[in-house]
A and B are shown apart, each in its own frame.
Chain A
Amino acid sequence: MTEHEHYEALVVGAGPGGAAAAATFANYGIETLVLERGVEAGSKNVSGGLIYAEQSAPYTIDDLFPDFREEASERPITRYRIHNIAGERVESFDLSNLHEHDTEWSDSVLRRKMDSWLEDRVHERTRETGGGLLTGVHVTGLYREDGKIVGVETEELDPITADVIVAADGVNSELARDAGLMDWDEPDEWFQGVKAVADVPSDVIADRFDIGADEGAAHLFSGDLFEGVRGGGFLYTNRDTLSLGTVFHLDSLVAERAEPHELLDSLLTHPLLAQWLGDDYTELEYSAKLVPDSKKVALREPHFGRLLLVGDAAGQMQAQGAIIKGMNHAVTAGALAAEAYAQAKSRNEPEKAGTRYSRKLRDEGVMKKLRPRGYELVRGLAEDDGVTEIVDSVLTSAVGRAGIRALSGQLGRVYNVPMLSAMMPDTRTPYVTLPTVIAEELGTRVREESSVTPPSLEARIGDLTYDTDIGSPHITVLDNSYEASGAAVTACPVSAVDFGGGCYREEVVRTNGSEERVVSLDTQPCVECGTCAVVADTEWEHPRGDKGVEFKWG
């Protein structure tokens, strides 16, 4: 057997999940190597932008990294509202109770700043164990001996073996797929988020949002402004920028052939946002990512042999109505995975780290949040198309409308019940129909007019930083027929119908008297979200270490 470089613990990915795992390993004095593919931690990472510290969580980010809030985050979120929109009518509810439920604190964050701050601390702490953190190393898959997982393979280094491997390599985890624990098959298991970071000075934020220097606002948006696509929008205040974005069910985006960047623009240009965006909208960065729907894909047993999965790689992203929590669960899971290994090892049964880890996820209540029982119960009934038709037609009827009016005093309270958010079915009813009816019946007309002109998709791509790996594209289209891969032309956030500068475009090839609709791919503008891996027939890998898109804000 070949002698390989060996570390006791190997963590793949330096986001919050990987950082938490590495810090916990280091706390136990375990020699830990962390491998991150970006040129710097955070350069490949995007999130909507709120990180929570839950009261019920056994580990929070500031438990593991004490100065986190002072140095790595943006603003504490002290105001939380949802806006139901129908045309120019809006009915808003305060969501403070939902936001504060089980919440110790919640801050807005920008991932480049946050993750690069974590990177320095993780390197320092893991270096003391004899390991350390390396950037620019792309882990491509698992390394096996005699059929057993013993380490990882990378593009930059020789194979490395380890006693325990924590895959914190994100939503498009190559390790989870290599282990057969995840696939990229079903669009209804994923959300796609698209985000813009806008430049707004802190004094202007204070003025427009009526908040102090250490206060922050979060706004959610749903209703009829997104062409009937199931999902919603968000706006979070950072220190001197705003994070604005939209998140939609991927199957719904595909079904409606909607263009994600246009749906984002629908939000940006809605008159309701004029009060916050003013007439000097300056976009700093456009980005996108896939979001796993934990209700459907959170792994109940996120481990296989020596491999333990945490965060997005394990589908641990809770997006249930107005509850949007991912990073906190990644932190908890990362720390629990490391703790599970340390305890298993001390009992001389390191091979039981995985089962110990998944038991901890259950015992600590993480699994219950990710896969709420209420949702499992209502899913079968409420996600039936026929039922949705009936519910929607009742809601929109005179009877339903009268009901909404009668409930007007109670609705705000109903929106604040965590259990109801967790049970919310994946149908157009809660995302589109109900908010629209609420706004139509109870809403008031917005007086402002929007003067926001969002940048074109071409300009957005042009403003991004890429280090293109010329000659070796990281995505290959396996079936270029329009039937197999055409959905990517619209669903890809950096592609659009009749736009030549994007990743995917439709072409008509005339051969021998017949015409064929095909798609062609240019990976240069790719933002590595993974959408096309799900909606098109591709062979999808991340680019080599350091290569590809580099987010400056994230």
Chain B
Amino acid sequence: MHMVVLTKGVPDFREGQVSFDEDGHLERGKTPTVMNPNDRFALEAALQTRVRHGGRVSVMSMGPPGYKEVLQEAMASVYADDLHLVSDREMAAADTWATAITLSAGIETLGEPDVVFAGFKTADGETGHTGPQTNWCLDMPLVTHVISLDIDEDEGVLRAKRLVEGDIEEVETVETSLPAFVVTDPEFVPSYRTAGERLTLKDLRAETQERAEQYEDFLTVRDHADINVDPDYIGLDGSPTIVSSVDPIPKAPAEREATMVNPSDSAAMQDVLEAMQSALGNGGDVAAAGGD
């Protein structure tokens, strides 16, 4: 089986890492770039397939040369056999459409993969378009919001459990032929129910971590000529999206007044108790109803 996983570098939005200026704009220079957190689930799904069926996992990204390290992170933190970065100036400022054209062309240079995996939304763009649009170019069956996965190699089918409309309460099982395009949901959980699978997993994890030390030996960088795309269809020139303006989201006003109380301060706690009692007294009907 040949799996391709798409990934993207995003600002590290975790507290302590991310940096905003006074106007609330992201400071790219001060914020490290990391692998899009949701892509981990796509990698986990590919690794599960690799453990069960063997083959090869290729991880691909489009972006500036610095994204090499994002690919290294994918290799070290989950799994990759080889890494592919499509990168040149012509690709800069691409919207999701131009990105999808670029990525699909990149995937086609790798041959005919059995499954392509993408994560659900990037932490910066939040569109959720790139995966499905890439698949529109590739023209494979598409399964989104996948939470568990089972492939029958002999029959050439992929069975997946997916969240209907992204709702955790509603799960459906779908079946499709291979090759297929899978978008994993953040609820995706890999499943290894045999010792043999877990031992293979342990071997593969050790191998990928070793590879990640010399990741550049496993990395191929391609420009638009390498993947055979017309510069008019990629980057800013190929992007139909026009961003007219960006408005900062205003800070939500606090709806209630809050007072901090030290729980060991008995006088203050007495006030809290009285406040609660008076609140209950005022809403007498509600309290009575709740007590039934």
By the criterion CB–CB under 8 Å, are B194 and A158 in contact? Answer: yes
* A132: interface (CB < 8 Å): yes
* B53: interface (CB < 8 Å): no
* A381: interface (CB < 8 Å): no
Shortest A125–chain B CB gap in Å is: 14
* B286: interface (CB < 8 Å): no
By the criterion CB–CB under 8 Å, are B195 and A160 in contact? Answer: yes
Q: Whole-angstrom distance between the alpha carbons of A85 and B195 in the complex?
A: 53
By the criterion CB–CB under 8 Å, are A157 and B193 in contact? Answer: yes
Shortest A41–chain B CB gap in Å is: 14
Q: Whole-angstrom distance between the alpha carbons of A35 and B202 in the complex?
A: 13
By the criterion CB–CB under 8 Å, are A134 and B194 in contact? Answer: no
By the criterion CB–CB under 8 Å, are A5 and B199 in contact? Answer: no
* B198: interface (CB < 8 Å): yes
Contacts of B195 in A (CB 8 A): 5, 7, 33, 35, 132, 134, 137, 157, 160
Residue of B whose beta carbon sits closest to that of A33: B195
Annotate A105-140 by CB proximity to B: 1 below 8 A, 0 otherwise.
000000000000000000100010001101001000
* B196: interface (CB < 8 Å): yes
Annotate B178-212 by CB proximity to A: 1 below 8 A, 0 otherwise.
00000000000000111110110011000000000
By the criterion CB–CB under 8 Å, are A157 and B198 in contact? Answer: yes
By the criterion CB–CB under 8 Å, are B194 and A5 in contact? Answer: yes
Q: Whole-angstrom distance between the alpha carbons of A156 and B201 in the complex?
A: 15
Contacts of A160 in B (CB 8 A): 194-195
By the criterion CB–CB under 8 Å, are B202 and A5 in contact? Answer: no
Contacts of B199 in A (CB 8 A): 33, 127, 131-132, 134
Shortest B249–chain A CB gap in Å is: 34
Q: Which of A35, A127, A157 has the most CB of B within 10 A?
A: A157
Contacts of A157 in B (CB 8 A): 192-195, 198
Give the tally of cross-chain contacts (CB within 8 A). 30
Contacts of B196 in A (CB 8 A): 5
Annotate A1-41 by CB proximity to B: 1 below 8 A, 0 otherwise.
00001010000000000000000000000000101000000
Q: Whole-angstrom distance between the alpha carbons of A108 and B195 in the complex?
A: 34
Contacts of A132 in B (CB 8 A): 195, 199, 202
Contacts of B192 in A (CB 8 A): 157
Contacts of B193 in A (CB 8 A): 156-158
Q: Whole-angstrom distance between the alpha carbons of A503 and B7 in the complex?
A: 46
Q: Whole-angstrom distance between the alpha carbons of A42 and B194 in the complex?
A: 23
Contacts of A134 in B (CB 8 A): 195, 198-199, 202
Q: Which of B192, B193, B195 has the most CB of A within 10 A?
A: B195
Shortest B68–chain A CB gap in Å is: 31
Residue of B whose beta carbon sits closest to that of A5: B194
Q: Whole-angstrom distance between the alpha carbons of A280 and B199 in the complex?
A: 46
Residue of A whose beta carbon sits closest to that of B194: A5
Contacts of A35 in B (CB 8 A): 195
Shortest B264–chain A CB gap in Å is: 15
Shortest A14–chain B CB gap in Å is: 14
Annotate A26-61 by CB proximity to B: 1 below 8 A, 0 otherwise.
000000010100000000000000000000000000
Contacts of A137 in B (CB 8 A): 195, 198
Q: Which of B192, B194, B198 has the most CB of A within 10 A?
A: B198
Contacts of B198 in A (CB 8 A): 134, 137, 157
Q: Whole-angstrom distance between the alpha carbons of A7 and B202 in the complex?
A: 18
Contacts of B202 in A (CB 8 A): 123, 132, 134
Q: Whole-angstrom distance between the alpha carbons of A39 and B193 in the complex?
A: 17
Shortest A126–chain B CB gap in Å is: 9
Q: Whole-angstrom distance between the alpha carbons of A123 and B198 in the complex?
A: 13
Q: Whole-angstrom distance between the alpha carbons of A160 and B193 in the complex?
A: 10
| Interface pairs (26), CB distance under 8 Å | A5-B194, A5-B195, A7-B195, A33-B195, A33-B199, A35-B195, A123-B202, A127-B199, A127-B203, A131-B199, A132-B195, A132-B199, A132-B202, A134-B195, A134-B198, A134-B199, A134-B202, A156-B193, A157-B193, A157-B194, A157-B195, A157-B198, A158-B193, A158-B194, A160-B194, A160-B195
Q: A33-B199, A156-B193, A157-B194 are in contact. List 20 more A-B contacts (CB 8 A).
A: A5-B194, A5-B195, A33-B195, A35-B195, A123-B202, A127-B199, A127-B203, A131-B199, A132-B195, A132-B199, A134-B195, A134-B199, A134-B202, A137-B195, A137-B198, A157-B192, A157-B193, A158-B193, A158-B194, A160-B195
Q: Which 9 A-B pairs have the closest CB atoms?
A: A132-B199, A5-B194, A158-B193, A134-B198, A33-B195, A157-B193, A157-B195, A160-B195, A134-B195
